[in-house]
Amino acid sequence: MAGSQEHQQQIQHLEAELAQMQKGFQEMADNIQRSLDVTFNEIDKKTVHLIDDKKQLATESAIKHLDKHSRQEMKENEWLKRELAIYTREVSITALAVQQLEEENLEHMGQLFERRLEDLQISRNVFLTQAAGLGPSDSTVQETIMKNGVSSSPVPPLHPATEAWRAQKQAKELERDETSGSCSEAAYRPTEDPLQDLSVLLYGSQTYLQQGDMHLGPLEMKLLTVVGQALPLHPVPSETPGSKGGSSAPETLQAPEDWPLTARIIHKRFK
């Protein structure tokens, strides 16, 4: 029993020594591997350096045996390579700066365009119609504007009397233009060039803004106002030739016989 315990202790001691030897061997192997890698890297670096030196020496030796013109060409080639690298770097920086300037320019132009639209004295729908090179009465443009939601509020329907008054006024204007042969038509009618119409609307004459209101058609959205004037329902009877004293009699200022006013009288008077 005592012998077996002694043998067991010896076995454990030998196993501990074996583990210690394996650990030391592994550490030595790692150190040798690291040293080998460092040595290989140094050898590779030295080899590359020596090869470059040999190439440089060979190039210099070859240049010495060349003529003066060839040596000058090689020097110029090296100089061009350096300049090309510098030029490429500067071009990339300049291109980035130009791109930023273009973006800022587009943003500023958009802001100016919006300010011009706000300053116009005509509706936005009519401006977009004129900028597209179409007539203000084009039904297709109206449908497109309504579909795209350009109009912020629905166009109120015109009263029949208002439509008749507008048609009569347009007819009078057209007749006056045809007879007089004046050039006022070009001030408010769209030309064949959409860009010209756009420039007229943005920077053009005030004649278009003043005279073009009657030609805006149903796209124009304006508040219509009605101005009334007080007038008597029946005209005051004038003086009769046989009146005495040059003054009218008190009876002539009396109210007419058909009084009080009824719906039948109004219908009969204005029928």
Whose CA is closest to 123, among 204, 219, 53? Answer: 219
- CA distances to 88, 242, 255, 256 from 248, rounded to whole Å, are 106, 10, 15, 16
CB 127 within 8 A of CB 190: no
Instruction: Give the pLDDT confidence score for residue 247 in this predicted structure.
Output: 45
Q: What are phi and psi of 260, to 5 degrees?
A: -75, 165
Residues in the chain: 271
Low-confidence ranges of the chain (pLDDT < 70): 1-3, 117-169, 172, 175-226, 232-259, 271
- CA distances to 28, 43, 62, 68, 70 from 58, rounded to whole Å, are 44, 22, 6, 17, 16
Specify burial of residue 221 (Cβ count, 10 A radius: 0-12, 13-18, 19+): middle
Instruction: Give the pLDDT confidence score for residue 68 in this predicted structure.
Output: 82
Instruction: Give the pLDDT confidence score for residue 130 in this predicted structure.
Output: 58
d(CA 51, CA 114): 67
Whether the predicted model's global pTM rises above the 0.75 cut: no
Contacts of 191 by beta carbon, 8 Å cutoff, 6+ apart:
197
Instruction: Give the pLDDT confidence score for residue 124 in this predicted structure.
Output: 56
User: Residue 201, Cβ neighbours under 10 Å: how many?
Assistant: 21
d(CA 126, CA 35): 85
Location of structure tokens 């394996």: 22
Q: How many CA atoms lie within 13 A of 145 on its CB side?
A: 26
Render pLDDT for 166-216 as a digit per residue (tens, 0 to 9).
666 677 677 666 555 544 444 445 454 555 555 555 554 444 444 444 444
Instruction: Give the pLDDT confidence score for residue 240 in this predicted structure.
Output: 47
Instruction: Give the pLDDT confidence score for residue 101 in this predicted structure.
Output: 94
d(CA 87, CA 105): 26
Q: Note the helical H segments in the chain.
A: 2-64, 68-119, 124-131, 139-148, 160-180, 185-188, 194-203, 206-211, 263-269
Report angle CA 213, 211, 179 to the nearest 5 degrees.
125
